[in-house]
Chains A and B, each alone.
Chain A
Amino acid sequence: MPLPTEFADLTPYTDWILPTEPERYNKRLNSSMDQMQTFYDAAINRLEDAITYCDQYPINDLPDPARELMHLMQSLIMVSFPVEVWKQPRVPDSGAAYLNITTEPVI
């Protein structure tokens, strides 16, 4: 499914279009910092535009391209901690600890 045409510049990052938190978290843990930095740099500049675009529609009835764009921006949020703070995919000092999401709203 394609992103809205206005966001064709984000096409290289469509593998980050992931609807659920476990998928996004897993992709984060399995990505290099270079991969996340490149995605972050491209996506954060389009975050405001993406919100404006999606807000043309009711949040509970987004057309597919807008929904995909939201899933992509949820992944941007997911990589923001590694990129802006940790400089590594995992939370430092989190060792073997895990925290699984068992209930989440899926767009």
Chain B
Amino acid sequence: MAHFAKPSAGSWTQQYPELGTSPVDYNDSIDPAFYEKERAAIFKRTWLNVGRIEQLPRTGSYFTKELPSAGTSLVIVKGGDGAVRAFHNVCRHRGNKLVWNDYPAEETAGSCRQFICKYHAWRYDLTGKLTFVQQEEEFFDLDKADYGLKDVACDSWEGFIFINLDPQETLTEYLGEMAKSLAGYPFGKMTEVYRYKAEVGANWKLFIDAFAEFYHAPVLHQKQAVKDEADKLLTYGYEALHYDLSTSPHSMISSWGGMSPPKDPSMVKPIERILRSGLFGPWDKPAIDGLDAASLPPGLNPARHRAWGSDSFEFFPNFTLLIWEPGWYLTYHYWPTAVDKHIFEGTLYFVPPTNARERLAQELAAVTFKEYALQDANTLEATQTMIATRTVTKFPLNDQEILLRHLHKVVGDRVQEYSDATAH
């Protein structure tokens, strides 16, 4: 039985006829040749979110970002002029990785006045200019102006830093209406950060699939609720309040939030009752402006539903922004490392707590996030191994899995378009 209204087309999926309703082929998640095409058609020419401006608090602050899917490592740095720039993390002399600590493959962050290569001490300023060459007189006609760091397009939206190895359009054009509809949300005040990272033995799209539908939640996570509540959730199943794919390649899902706070405190676990917090975050909003219903940007709670709980925005290809009604947000990033492997990052952002009660409420939300994500991650490895057997190749997706259907279609379309354009 439907609890929330569907569009007049009869279903969310049929509202977007180009998606079709037939079973979906998951070859795109197991075929190494397809993965190589994805890298070229998507990761090497799409705006990718690599972090937030709070990670670069002052002149000379930097962090590195490993992008095996795009075939490079980048260093992102704040210059003396306040601008954030991105460079390929490679010394122009003989190709050593410029910025790294102890382990060349691991990401690092810090603050510096200039970059000095570990190999022969070539130096670059914060704008990428080569400023010093060891024994410069030994070289032949070397003009330092020709050997600055190779830069990469870098821009930001609402404090989120994006890079693009081969931009086809500006960041603003790329992010489009979906981003515009979220402008003004107080992201910049949510600076209390918990970041988790894991290597997951599954194609990057499979984890997006897991987080882009909540159809699985009452089943996979049923043990996490108290018994009576779990039984009730299982009977109800899951229905979204709203889906929007009009901003394709990006998409969003809007969800009910009845657990924060719960109608009946006996629905939740003892520690949640004491700390007034749980998976959906602290039940009480932080005391900052911009979080009451009247001042939220128009992109949030598009159905204007009283029971609104969270909106999950899928910025194509691999950046999820999940905003919760009680005033905090989560980001997910899925960084492919092979057809059947990716690095997953989940980051929670809260307004800094003003007292012990708020601090422990945030702690419970962060700990709870990890409990759920561990179940999700392991399920994915089980999925990847069985899809890879090709025993079954086509999978029926229901109306609450529309964002998955959309993701696989957009990836397929982009790969096809790119292959067609480069075939000549």
A73 within 8 A of B: yes
Find chain A residues with CB under 8 A from B367 CB. 77-78, 80-81
B1 within 8 A of A: no
* A51 interface neighbour in B360, B378, B379, Cβ under 8 Å: B360
Interface 0/1 of B359-374, CB less than 8 Å to A: 1100110111011011
Q: Output the nearest chain A residue to B269 by Cβ-Cβ distance.
A: A84
A8 within 8 A of B: no
A26 within 8 A of B: no
Find chain B residues with CB under 8 A from A5 CB. none
* CA of A14 to CA of B83, assembled, Å: 48
* A44 interface neighbour in B270, B346, B355, B373, Cβ under 8 Å: B270
Find chain B residues with CB under 8 A from A81 CB. 367-368, 371
* CA of A104 to CA of B370, assembled, Å: 13
Q: Output the nearest chain B residue to A66 by Cβ-Cβ distance.
A: B356
Find chain A residues with CB under 8 A from B368 CB. 81
Interface size on B, residues (CB 8 A): 40
* A101 interface neighbour in B194, B353, B364, B379, Cβ under 8 Å: B194
* CA of A84 to CA of B347, assembled, Å: 25
Interface of B is mostly: helix
B248 within 8 A of A: no
Q: Output the nearest chain A residue to B377 by Cβ-Cβ distance.
A: A97
Question: Number of residue pairs across A and B with beta carbons under 8 Å?
Answer: 106
B224 within 8 A of A: yes
* B196 interface neighbour in A78, A94, A101, Cβ under 8 Å: A101
Give min CB distance, A41 to chain B, whole Å: 11
Give min CB distance, A2 to chain B, whole Å: 19
B198 within 8 A of A: yes
B172 within 8 A of A: no
Q: A80-B269, A86-B223 are in contact. Are A59 and B371 (CB under 8 A)?
A: no
* A94 interface neighbour in B347, B355, B375, Cβ under 8 Å: B375
* A91 interface neighbour in B198, B353, B355, B374, Cβ under 8 Å: B374
Find chain B residues with CB under 8 A from A50 CB. 356
Q: Output the nearest chain A residue to B356 by Cβ-Cβ distance.
A: A54
Find chain B residues with CB under 8 A from A48 CB. 274
A3 within 8 A of B: no
Q: A85-B223, A92-B223, A94-B377 are in contact. Are A99 and B359 (CB under 8 A)?
A: no
* A103 interface neighbour in B194, B198, B269, B375, Cβ under 8 Å: B194
* CA of A92 to CA of B366, assembled, Å: 18
Which residues does A use to contact B, with CB under 8 Å? 44, 47-48, 50-51, 54-55, 59, 70, 73-74, 76-78, 80-81, 84-86, 91-105, 107
Which residues does B use to contact A, with CB under 8 Å? 192-198, 200, 223-224, 269-271, 274-275, 344, 346-347, 353-360, 363-364, 366-368, 370-371, 373-375, 377-379, 381
The 9 closest A-B pairs by CB, nearest first: A54-B356, A103-B195, A97-B378, A94-B374, A97-B377, A80-B271, A91-B374, A99-B198, A95-B378
